[in-house]
Amino acid sequence: MPAIAPGSRAFLRRFRAAAKTELHLHLEGSAAPATLVKLSRRLMEPIFPDLESVRARRAGPGSPARFLGFYRDVCRLLRSPADYALVASDLTRRLRRENVRHAEVYVSPAVVERIGLDWRGVAEALDAVFGEHERRGGGRILVLLDSVRHWGPEAALRVLDLHERNPWRRVVGFGLGGDEESVPARAFAGVYARARRLGLAPLVHAGEWGGPGSVADAVKHLSPVRIAHGIGAASDSALVRLLSRKRIVLDVCPTSNVLTGALPDIDDVTRRVRALLVAGVRVTLSTDDPGLFGTTLFGEYRLLAGRGASARELGALAAFSRQAALRTRS
C-alpha cells in the first residue's frame, strides 16, 4: 500500500477506536468463510468444501455475473431461521470488534420465501440476535428491506406485503438490490410510493455497474434519500450537481466495487470519491458484504488513505455516515 500522509495516519488511529456508523451492509454477505464451510458440510453440499474455496470465489477478475452467482450460492445454504441467526451472529461479532454503534443491515424477505422459509420466523430469529447484541451494549442495528430488482415489481410488492402483515419495528427502509440493469427504475415507482406510505425510507442500489444513467433514472423515478454505491455518477458533472443539490447520499463500498468488477482498482474508486466530496456530494463508506469480500469498515478507510485521501476527507466520510443514519419511528 502507498504511504499514508501523517494527518491521515492520525485520523486512522482515532477512527480505529472511535464509535462508528455503517449504512450499506447485507446480512447474507456478512457470513464468515468458516460459517459458509460449516453450512456447506452440514448440508453435504459441495459449494464451499473448505476455506480455500471461499477465497477462490472472492478472487478476481470480478464481474456482476460472478458476484451474483457467489451470492446466490451463499443464500442456498440458509435452510432455517437458525441458519440466519448464525450469520447474524457473525455480523454482530464484527460490529462489536469494530465498535460500530449504529448499523443498517439489508435483509431480503423475497430470498427468504424463495428458499422456502417463513419470513416471520426468520425475522424473529434475527431480532433475537440483534436484541442480544444491543443488550450487551453493542450498539443499534436497524433493518432495511431489500428486494431483488431482477425479480421485478411484483416481487418487490410482495416484500411490502410481508412487512405490512408482520410489521417489525426494527425495519426503517426499503431498497432494491440485485442486477440494476435488469428492470428500469420507473417500473418500481408505484412500489416506492407504497413504501413511503408505510413509513419506509426510500433507498436503491444504482450506479454500481449501471453507470450515471442508472443513478439518474433512480433519482427521477424513485426519489431515494440514499443510493447504495452510486459511484458511477462521478463521471456526469450535471448529475453530480443534482445529487449535491438534492442532498442525496451515496453509500460507497470501495473493496466491493473492485472485486465485483464495477471499477478497475482502488485508485479509481478513491479518485471518484474525492471528486464527489469536492463537488459537495454526501458520501459514506461501508463494507457491503464483509464476509464475502474479506474486508472491514476500518479497512475501507485505510484503503482510501493509502491512495491519498486526506484526514479532512476521511473525517467528512465518517461525519456523513452519522448524519445520514436513519432512525426508528417513535
DSSP strands (E only) in the chain: 20-26, 100-107, 140-148, 171-177, 201-206, 226-229, 249-252, 282-285
CA distances from 320 to 21, 168, 227, 282, 285 (A): 9, 27, 13, 6, 9
Q: How many CB atoms neighbour CB 101 within 10 A?
A: 17
| Whole-angstrom distance, CA of residue 276 vs CA of residue 233 | 9
Look up residue 237 and give its three cell numbers. 458533472
Contact criterion met (CB below 8 Å) for 2 and 307:
yes
**pLDDT surpasses 70 at 329:** no
> Tens digits of per-residue pLDDT, 15-51?
999 999 999 999 999 999 999 999 999 988 889 999 9
Give the pLDDT band of residue 3 (cuts 50, 70, 90): confident
| Whole-angstrom distance, CA of residue 304 vs CA of residue 273 | 9
Contact criterion met (CB below 8 Å) for 209 and 64:
yes
For residue 102, list its beta bridge partners: 21, 140
Q: What pLDDT is recorded for position 66? A: 86
- Over residues 207-220, the mean pLDDT reads 95
Superfamily of domain 6-324, CATH level 4: Metal-dependent hydrolases (3.20.20.140)
Q: What pLDDT is recorded for position 176? A: 96
| Whole-angstrom distance, CA of residue 299 vs CA of residue 289 | 13
CA dihedral in degrees (38, 76, 226, 13; nearest 10)?
10
Q: What pLDDT is recorded for position 1? A: 61
> Tens digits of per-residue pLDDT, 179-194?
898 999 999 999 999 9
Mean pLDDT, rounded, of the chain = 94
Residue with cell 462521478: 234
| Whole-angstrom distance, CA of residue 48 vs CA of residue 31 | 12
- Among 39-43, 214-218, 230-234, which is the least confidently predicted range? 39-43
**pLDDT surpasses 60 at 330:** no
| Whole-angstrom distance, CA of residue 109 vs CA of residue 122 | 9
Instruction: For residue 251, give the nearest of 103, 110, 59, 89 by alpha carbon.
Output: 103
> Tens digits of per-residue pLDDT, 282-302?
999 999 999 999 999 999 999
Look up residue 115 and give its three cell numbers. 428458499
- Over residues 148-177, the mean pLDDT reads 95
Contact criterion met (CB below 8 Å) for 141 and 131:
no
| Whole-angstrom distance, CA of residue 294 vs CA of residue 326 | 26
Contact criterion met (CB below 8 Å) for 330 and 199:
no
The three-state (H, E, C) secondary structure of 239-291, written as one string = HHHHHHHHCCEEEECHHHHHHCCCCCCHHHHHHHHHHHHHCCCEEEECCECHH
| Whole-angstrom distance, CA of residue 202 vs CA of residue 245 | 18
Catalytic residue among 98, 208, 300, 313: 208
pTM of the model: 0.95
Contact criterion met (CB below 8 Å) for 272 and 285:
no
**pLDDT surpasses 90 at 271:** yes
In residues, how long is the chain?
330
**pLDDT surpasses 90 at 174:** yes
Residue with cell 445520514: 324
Q: Where are the domains of the chain?
A: 6-324
- Over residues 112-140, the mean pLDDT reads 96
Phi, psi of 107, deg, nearest 5: -135, 140
| Whole-angstrom distance, CA of residue 108 vs CA of residue 112 | 7
Q: Answer yes or no: 98 catalytic.
A: no
| Whole-angstrom distance, CA of residue 167 vs CA of residue 295 | 32
> Tens digits of per-residue pLDDT, 37-95?
999 999 888 899 999 999 888 766 678 888 888 999 999 999 999 999 999 999 999 99
